[in-house]
Every structure is written in structure tokens, then in C-alpha cells.
Amino acid sequence: MRRAGVLMPVTSLPSPWGIGTLGAAAREFVDFLAASGQALWQILPIGPTGFGDSPYQVFSTYAGNPYLIDLDELVAEGLLERSEYEGVPWGDDPLSVDYGALFRGRYAVLERACARLRASRSAELASFCARESAWLEDYALFMAIKDSQGGAPWVSWPDGLRRREAGALDDARRLLADRVDFWKALQCLFFRQWDRLREYAASAGVLLMGDIPIYVAPDSADVWASPEQFQLDERLLPVEVAGCPPDGFAAGGQLWGNPLYDWELMERDGFSWWVERVTYQLRLYDVLRIDHFRGFDSYYSIPFGAPDAREGRWREGPGMALFERLRETCGTERLVAEDLGYLTDSVARLREETGLPGMRVLEFAFDSVDGSGSVYLPHSYPRDCVAYVGTHDNDTALGWLASACPEDVSRARDYLGLNEREGEGWGMMRGIWSSVAETAIVQMQDILCLGGEARMNVPSTVGQNWRWRAPAHYATPELAQRLRRLMELCDRAPAAGKR
């Protein structure tokens, strides 16, 4: 079935309170998608972010980001008073997230809501905590200890806490009980709102597409609670870390710094850590993109402490054994492989063997640097793929046209027939909508005809990423009508009666 969708981070939705949330603005976006003939809303990972604010480096692969809890919804539920957050400075620019302002102001407001939740709805909270105990106990304790240690990473905590000695953990649970309960209550608030949003999207015929990073953050409850699953030394420091090798875009490669998995141990216990992780994510989403798929075939391993990625080398990944186990346990029919980056024949064979649809990015099609563009030209797309103009790691369509090599831009204009009357950004979107790819997804910034100033992320940089926000009243009926007409022309509009 041909379908289309929009990539729009929850953080990018408009609101008066500093960041997009799971409340009315999210439901309004669902309405816009339904009206414009879109079947999918792709979002970025929704976990609690830390230093750098990246949704791909979070404190837990299971927890929700407290910043996304809608404050107005809490007022409607009697858990907040509007006066408790109206005067808080949430940032000076409504089109950019100020994470510093959120960190300074959000938790004090949410503490009030959590206190009222614990006092008035203790049975509901207890039910949530019991249902999610498999991950929530470790996460809440991790965050409470982190608070008590001034936010320090877990590898610098006192030895008993760092090594999870039973006596030290028991003492922490007793001494930090109130803070542990706060972090549990926050997650209850988050997932109550998430569940309502997912139900609303389902009623509108819109599927939610999530994104699961291949790696977890070094400073996370995931590594602290299960250090045996990772390549750590006797000091619980990584032996080697993740990244990408040098290429034409980065002479020193990319040094991500994530701890690498002990794949041999994981395979011996049936990949239980991965089965639990993917099963949980499939509870949250209708479709799930698996980030950095090539790392399951072979992964780039860099010595811990190296200044860049030049000293790394390729090591064998789990391959088909992992995906066979996932197929047996939680199913793989709703997964999408992010098969971008440095690819080999063996990566292509693994994706084909898994049966997962891969990805095609139009902006790569005209790249004269690495010479691999032909597979990204729309006329060469297979049906079982998800086509993009660009992802969250790429520039917007207009930003790319303004900044790419002039020869590459000229080729794109000739190939796609770009013109001012249609709008060059719209012409690039037409290129993937009219392809045979079963799914085509565009960034909301491209629909709004925004340039490079609206780019979501520049890989391997820290400080100005993940900040873009849409202006108020951006999703107009006229825009929805234009999109729907194009979906009908490209045979991507949902069939009548499906919504």
C-alpha cells in the first residue's frame, strides 16, 4: 500500500511553554496529517535527554522525556495551577528550544504536579509502577542518585553505587525514597499523556513511527543497570566505543563514544536485552525505525580514549542471529532498517535476509563526492523502501539547494524539473512522492519551505541542534489541501473510508 508521512519531532510543535509537548498541539498536528492525506507521523526518540540535548543520547531507552509532558493538560486534570508556570521564563525565541531555560524551570513545576498525583491518585500511580517495574525501578533510582551526586555521570559515583553493591543500593533507596518516587511519578504523567496521544492518532488513521538508536548513552540507566551486556573493563569503563570511520565529509571520522555491546554474551542468552528493548518500543509505536542498521552486520570500534575515529577498526556484528530471535519473539514486520552510511554487499544481504524495508535519501542522489548517488535516484528505488528528501541529520530541501555543490544542485534541478512556479522544495518532495517507494516521508520544514536555518541536526556537533520549532498556526487548511491533492495525484492518499 502506497502511503506518505511527515517527520516532525514532538519538541518542534508550537506552544507558549518553551517546547512542543504531548497535548493539544500534538493532537492538532494529527488532525493536519489526517486532513492532508498522510498515514504516518515520524518522530524522533522520546527519551529523557542529557548533555547536548540529543534524543539519541538519553538517560534511558525506556523512559519518556519529562519536557514533553503538557502543562495545560495537567491543569485540566487538577494537578497544576496555571499560575504556577505562566510567569516562568521558558526562552526568548518561540521558534527555538532553550534547553537551559527548560532545565532551570520545568522540574520545579513538575514536582508540584507529581506531589498532587502521589497524594490524590496513589492507586493509579502504584498500578503504573508495578506494570513498568522491569525498567522503572532502576531508572528512578539512577536518576535519584544522579541528583544526589550533582548530576555527575555514574562512572564517577562512589564505588558501592557505581558497582551496584546491594548494601549501597539499599541505603540509596532508603535515603532517596522521596526523589525515587518523584522520578516514578514523572514517568506516570508522561505515559498517561503518550497513551492518550497514541489513541487519538489511531482514531484519526495516523500511525506513529518511532526511532530506536542502535546504541545507548554511556551515562544511562541502561549501562549502569546491565554493565555485563557491554564491552567494559574491570573499572566499568568502555574498552572500545562506537563511531564511524574517516570519509570525505569528516577526515577524523565520527567519535560517538557509546559503549559497544558484548554480542557474544548477548547471543548466548538469546539476545534477551534486545528482545525486551524492541518489544517495549513496539508497544509505543506502530512502526519502528532501527537506527544505524549497518552496525548489526559489522560495527566500527574505536579504542576508548582515542582523540578521533582514525584508530578504529571494523568488527563483526550479530548479523541474522539477532533478527531471527526478534522475529521469533516480538516480530519484525513493523521494523524499518536505516541502512545509510558506509555500506557493503554484506550489509545489503543482511537487510534482504531480514526482509526489512531500507531507506533512500534524495539529497544523496546528486552527491558527486562519494559517487554512490545512483541508488538514491528515484527511478532506481525498490518498492520495499522508505524514501526521504532528507532526514533529521540532513539539511532541509531549500537549505541543501542553497549550500550543496553547484554541479550537484544543477543535476538535481535538471533531473527533477525544479522550477519557481511549483517551488523547488516542493519539486524535491514530488520526486519521492511519485517514486515507486511504498512509503515516502518528508520533513515538516520542507512543507513549510524553510531553509538551512531550520535544520534539525548537524552530525558530530553539539550546542545548536534539536532546537527548531514550528511557528504558531503553521498547519493551515490551505496547506493541508495542497498536500492532499498531491497525495491523490501520486496515489498515496488513504482510501475512502479508511479513517
List for the chain the helix, strand, coil content (%; round to 5).
45, 15, 40
- Largest pairwise CA distance in the chain: 70
**What's the DSSP call for residue 261?**
B
Q: Is 73 left (phi over 0), alpha (psi -120 to 50) or beta?
A: alpha
Q: Which residue has the cell 522521596?
A: 178
In degrees, rounded to 5, the angle at the alpha carbon of residue 232 between the alpha carbons of residues 262 and 342 is 55
- The whole-angstrom separation of Cα 388 and Cα 289 is 13
Residue 36 burial (CB count, 10 A) = 22
Q: Which amino acid is at 219?
A: D
Mutual angle of helices 345-354 and 320-329, in 10-degree steps: 10
**What's the DSSP call for residue 303?**
E
- The whole-angstrom separation of Cα 304 and Cα 306 is 6
Residues that are catalytic: 291, 338, 393
CA atoms within 13 A on the CB side of 287: 22
- The whole-angstrom separation of Cα 95 and Cα 499 is 32
Task: Report the run of H or E that residue 358 belongs to, with start and end.
Answer: strand 358-361
Helices (H), 86-233: 99-120, 122-131, 133-148, 159-162, 166-175, 177-203, 221-225
Sheet holding 335-337, edge to edge: 335-337, 287-290, 207-212, 40-42, 3-7, 439-443, 385-388, 358-361
Residue 479 burial (CB count, 10 A) = 15
How far are the Cα atoms of 274, 276, 280, 303, 337 from residue 329, in angstroms, in the given order?
Answer: 11, 9, 12, 34, 18
Residue 92 burial (CB count, 10 A) = 8
The three grid cell numbers given for residue 407, joined into one nine-digit string: 554541479
Q: Which amino acid is at 173?
A: R
- The whole-angstrom separation of Cα 200 and Cα 208 is 11
The three grid cell numbers given for residue 381, joined into one nine-digit string: 528505488
Residue 154 burial (CB count, 10 A) = 22
- The whole-angstrom separation of Cα 150 and Cα 198 is 35
- The whole-angstrom separation of Cα 371 and Cα 365 is 9
Residue 47 burial by Cβ neighbours in a 10 Å radius (0-12, 13-18, 19+): buried
